[in-house]
Amino acid sequence: MSLSDTPRANRLHIGIFGRRNSGKSTLINALTGQEIALVSEVAGTTTDPVYKSMEIHGIGPCVFIDTAGFDDVGELGRMRVEKTRQAAEKTDIALMIFTEEDIEEELKWIKVLRNSNTPIIAVVNKTDILNNTVEISRRIFERSGLLSIAISAKNETFIEKIRKEIIRLLPEDYDAIGITGSLVKEGDVVLMVMPQDIQAPKGRLILPQVQTLRELLDKKSIALCTTTDKMDEALKCLSQPPNLIITDSQVFKTVYEKKPVQSKLTSFSVLFANYKGDLNYFVKSANAIELLDENSKVLIVEACTHAPLEEDIGRVKIPNLLRKKIGEGLTVDMVSGADFPEDLSSYSLIIHCGACMFNRKHVLSRVKQAKVEGIPMTNYGVVLAYLSGILDHIDFPN
């Protein structure tokens, strides 16, 4: 990804679902105008989901997800279907492909997608070889209430209808939730306190810092960046206190103690808790820390995967802080990337990272699962503010 690219996590995710050999890969190629997906007459050519970032006129930055057929068989097939289920959790708009009059399997997946409030476009494919597309369309409407679009992905007929339907179904609030929200307006002075420690990639800024800085520039605010040890000097450079200070959650308490009374304070992780997830639930769930004891289990979740570091915030710092407060007997489990337990019932609390690598739909699917199972779920930045005793003194976007 180049510096000018929109990160995948900020793109609309369009998932293509259907049986093996229903033409999912061919449809993606037709929609994008590129040969980005492997096409074969052999059923099951697509194994793991394939993600392709694109810029589509009228839609903007998006990601097409080419999934494995959900009718795959055998142990390997079961694993592929599980990958398809995980892709469904990230999908903002779903294209459901039909090629047979038997639509029972498709109806099961429509139910899964609707449970996640995912808009669905029903597509009857292979009109170039099928002679019963009217009957298939009728059944789809009778059983699901969906009006279908009949196409030939191979001959690229009526593909434009799908593009128009995707545009029509774009969520009204898609990309409307800014990172800084109401905390920043044009002309505001914002001080970004960014410690460049072991977790900061050499020669680069981490993604939340980059994205936040870009939004501040887009808002025509005045952004000043500094490391924690230079915060006092940075404040002296200003003729008046900054309107807002955004810091790394790990130095929340240090920055809070130094900040001018007039300045608002938040962190990158807190901003992303709102941008990617359910901030209100995260803040409320932080109170569950007081209910933990040494027999409790806590699940820490990272969206990205990386080699463990000595000062790793998720694997080291937060567990140490929790055990210092609760006791050494506290059990802390760690998962990363696409891993997330199907059964959360053994946990007393879930602590998720800022999820800069996930799209909002993916994070909210996890929040929903936690709510359904009645498990409190919060966020790195919220927890660090809580454990520092300043959660009631920081500012939240809305």
Signed CA dihedral, 376, 365, 115, 76: sign only: negative
pLDDT band at 102 (very low <50, low <70, confident <90, very high): very high
pLDDT computed for residue 206 by the predictor: 83
Average pLDDT over residues 41-58: 68
pLDDT over 70 at 362, yes or no: yes
pLDDT band at 310 (very low <50, low <70, confident <90, very high): low
pLDDT computed for residue 308 by the predictor: 55
pLDDT computed for residue 3 by the predictor: 44
CA 114 to chain centre: 18
Amino acid at 334: M
Q: Which residues contact 356 (CB under 8 A, 6 or more apart)?
A: 7, 9, 206, 207, 208, 211, 272, 276, 303, 304
Which is higher by pLDDT, 56 or 121? 121
pLDDT over 90 at 6, yes or no: no
Of 26-35, 106-115, 324-333, 368-377, the one with minimum mean pLDDT is 26-35
pLDDT over 50 at 39, yes or no: no
pLDDT band at 46 (very low <50, low <70, confident <90, very high): very low
pLDDT computed for residue 262 by the predictor: 95
Which is higher by pLDDT, 300 or 35? 300
Q: What is the mean pLDDT of the chain?
A: 89
Q: Does residue 24 contact residue 67 with C-beta atoms inside 8 Å?
A: yes
pLDDT computed for residue 120 by the predictor: 96
pLDDT over 90 at 204, yes or no: no
pLDDT over 90 at 389, yes or no: yes
- What are residue 95's phi and psi, to 5 degrees? -105, 115
pLDDT digits (tens, 9 = 90+) for 275-289: 999 999 999 999 999
Indicate left, alpha or beta for 23 from its phi (over 0: left) and psi (-120 to 50: alpha). left
Reduced to 3 states (helix: H, G, I; strand: E, B; else coil), residue 53 is strand
Average pLDDT over residues 52-70: 85
Average pLDDT over residues 140-153: 96
Domains of the chain: 8-168 (3.40.50.300), 181-271 (3.40.50.11420), 283-393 (3.40.50.11410)
Q: Which of 177, 208, 206 is nearest to 356 (CA)?
A: 208
Q: How far apart are CA 13 and CA 50, in angstroms?
A: 12
pLDDT computed for residue 174 by the predictor: 55
pLDDT computed for residue 165 by the predictor: 93
pLDDT over 90 at 129, yes or no: yes
pLDDT computed for residue 199 by the predictor: 59
DSSP letter assigned to residue 105: H
pLDDT computed for residue 202 by the predictor: 67
pLDDT computed for residue 2 by the predictor: 45
Q: Which of 51, 358, 360, 368 is nearest to 175 (CA)?
A: 360
pLDDT band at 133 (very low <50, low <70, confident <90, very high): very high
pLDDT band at 53 (very low <50, low <70, confident <90, very high): confident
pLDDT over 90 at 266, yes or no: yes
Average pLDDT over residues 229-243: 96
Which is higher by pLDDT, 204 or 225? 225
Q: How far apart are CA 121 and CA 222, in angstroms?
A: 43
Q: Which of 257, 226, 228, 222 is nearest to 242 (CA)?
A: 222
Count of residues in the chain: 398
Average pLDDT over residues 193-211: 77
Average pLDDT over residues 272-301: 95
